[in-house]
Amino acid sequence: MSESYLVHVAVEAPQHSALSGPLTYRATHPWPAGSVVQVPLGRRVVCGIVWGAAPEAAAEEGAGLALRDVHSGLAGLPPLSDAWRALVQFAAGYYQRGLGEVALAALPPELRKLDDKQLALRLRRAQSMSLVPQGGEPELPPLTPEQQAALDGVDHGGVSLLHGSTGSGKTEVYLRLVARTLAAGRQALVLVPEINLTPQLEERFSARFPGRRIVSLHSGLTPAQRLKHWLAAHLGWADIVLGTRMAVLTPLPRLGLVVVDEEHDPSYKSQEGARYSARDLAVYRGKLEQAAVVLGSATPSLESWYHAQRGRYRRLAMPTRIGGAALPTVRLIDMNHVPREVARTSALSPALLAALGSRLERGEQALVLLNRRGYAPVLHCPDCGWKSGCAHCSAWRVFHRIDRTLRCHHCGACERVPRACPDCGNLDIQPLGRGTERLEEQLAAALPGARIARIDADTTRHKGSLEAQLSSVHAGEVDVLVGTQMLAKGHDFRRVTLVAALNPDAALFSSDFRAGERLFALLMQAAGRAGREAAHSAGSEMLVQTWHPAHPLYQALRAHDYAAFAARTLEEREMAGLPPYAHLALVRAEARTQEAAQAWLLAASEQAERLPEKGGVTLYPPVPSAIARVADVERAQMLVECESRPALQRFLAQWVPGLHALRAEHKGVLRWAVDVDPLAI
């Protein structure tokens, strides 16, 4: 009789199954922890990761149990490391998700389909990946005293917050840190918030590190590319990994440095599945693997700033722009002084049009930001009041004039614009409000002869389209660039001397307590696109059209004073008992009716009251979500608050496992989830 072993395997089980930990299987081979195997789960054979082997005594005790067998495994793939499994274990526990869900989501989907023979072929392809071509020794730019101080100040075993103004040369500090890491024989992981920032980063790293393997990991790769790059990272062949938030869970056997660029960006927080924060996991990973962690931003998140103020992170300041370039002058255009008829018919104030005209005369570029795509947020009928609401969501369908469609940006529903009002038959239905399409049209009419380009999610759908449009901007083929917030992040527009922000006021009075922080970061980052070339910086400007010019946020923006904004906002947060002075979780429920969703949340709240110890945890009453219906599904939420993070974690660990049983009593609930450290409420 062949010898058998018991192994614990993490598999991706459905959330409603309440299987959060690894399952036990029988194996004829002593698979080491971290091995990727194929195991039966229900009627399917699924991919799993061996999480540990049972001791011999336990194997003997399990001899009579009806355990299922491991089918096969990837013997040719080195096991995933103890440190990687510890990171996944932490993420699953902290964010209240199944261990297998987090672990398997970190693997390339293609890996799950391979046998050993197919894996061997993929390994050969990954090993043969081209190195960055050898060239002459790149000439390094001289470091400013601030850059040198930041480089010297990075905490090799801890977390450093690199607070550098836009254009201060943070990327050069990252490059020097990576060089130092590679010289020590270790790997570097560099994270950026969005895919559209990876091409220019790859270009800079490839130019700086000839003879090194550089791979990228993000959702824009094909499945085959993602597998090849992941294998190169896991096997230690790749020296540098560049990626978005998903890359934080990449196995790296020699990790020595993690850089999180634009660490404040909300894109680092996943809004689906495990809803993890890549920035926070990067901090934890650095501690696990004794790697230096650098969080960089001109506008740090208030949580990171708070930690730096209290000594948990080392703060490194770089307030001066490279080459002595001046920060742009911020000018507020008071829309209360613009004639009502002008403000009603155009998004562009006379002062803004005059500023754009003067830039055109000098041959300089301008960037105009409006954080709303489409032609208009809604169509309406002036006779009966009809508006283009979505039949499936609590939202408006946006009017896109180019293809004459009404599109819901939440559920994707799309239909042709009606010829007349569906309610009263009026032929004169009109756009209400403005989007980037309409702004582009108004700019073309107001600035005849100007070369105007629009970059937003609609114009960059096709592969390579964003790179092509950015190249034309850099080549000087565009005079005025129109776009959404995607243009405010990290792009190095050397010829832009004027940035204008239209209609930013809505965030000042939002019910979301983080809205002001996000607006300030967006405007500061946008301002940083202007005057990056020292020769053009003296006259660079940012214009903000606002109805509330006296607001403290705009006054801090005028002074480029992030510290003043942070101090005031943290004081407000402390008075209100909000993060970082308290810790939150949001329980979300989705059902066919709002009543069913809220009933499930009420039952969950009642269950929490029966727990032996709530540890200072407060549960607020259930309420509809900000957008209560999406794709015919009603959504509700319940806020959980506690002053102590460990106490909140202990409470969630007690409470969440019992919530699975509530599904049997509340048949109308389709899905539920816990969002720890939510970004929006």
**393 labelled as ligand-binding?**
yes
Cα separation of 372 and 569, whole Å? 26
Residue 408 assigned ligand-binding role: yes
Alpha-carbon separation of residue 466 from 459, 460, 575 (angstroms)? 8, 5, 44
642 is in an annotated binding site: no
Closest CA to 322 of 440, 523, 169, 505: 169
Residue labelled with tokens 């020590």 = 184
414 is in an annotated binding site: no
Question: Would you give the distance in Å from CA 659 to the centre of its chain?
Answer: 28
Asked if residue 93 lies in contact with residue 85, where contact means CB atoms within 8 angstroms, the answer is no
Say what the alpha-carbon torsion angle 671, 249, 211, 184 is, to the nearest 10 degrees: 160
Could you tell me the sign of the dihedral formed by the alpha carbons of 255, 257, 258, 261, in that order? Answer: negative
CB neighbours of residue 632 within 10 Å: 10
The response to whether 381 counts as a known ligand-binding position is yes
Identify whether 580 is preceded by a cis peptide bond (ω within 30 of 0). yes
- The answer to whether residues 530 and 331 touch, using CB atoms and an 8 Å cutoff, is no
How far is 71 from 370, CA to CA, in rounded Å? 55
CA 310, CA 143: separation in Å to the nearest integer? 29
Amino acid, single-letter form, for residue 193: P
Question: Do residues 275 and 164 make contact, with C-beta atoms less than 8 angstroms apart?
Answer: no
Q: How far is CA 124 from CA 119, 129, 225, 231, in A?
A: 9, 9, 14, 10
DSSP letter for each residue of 410-471: TT--EEEPPSS-TTT--S--EEES--HHHHHHHHHHHSTT--EEEESTTTT-STTHHHHHHH
SS3 label, residue 299: coil
Backbone angles phi, psi at 339, to 5 degrees: -50, 135
Is there a binding annotation on residue 47? no
Q: Which helix (H) or strand (E) holds 93?
A: helix 82-94
Q: Which residues are annotated as part of the binding site for Zn(2+)?
A: 381, 384, 390, 393, 408, 411, 421, 424
Q: Which residues are annotated as part of the binding site?
A: 381, 384, 390, 393, 408, 411, 421, 424
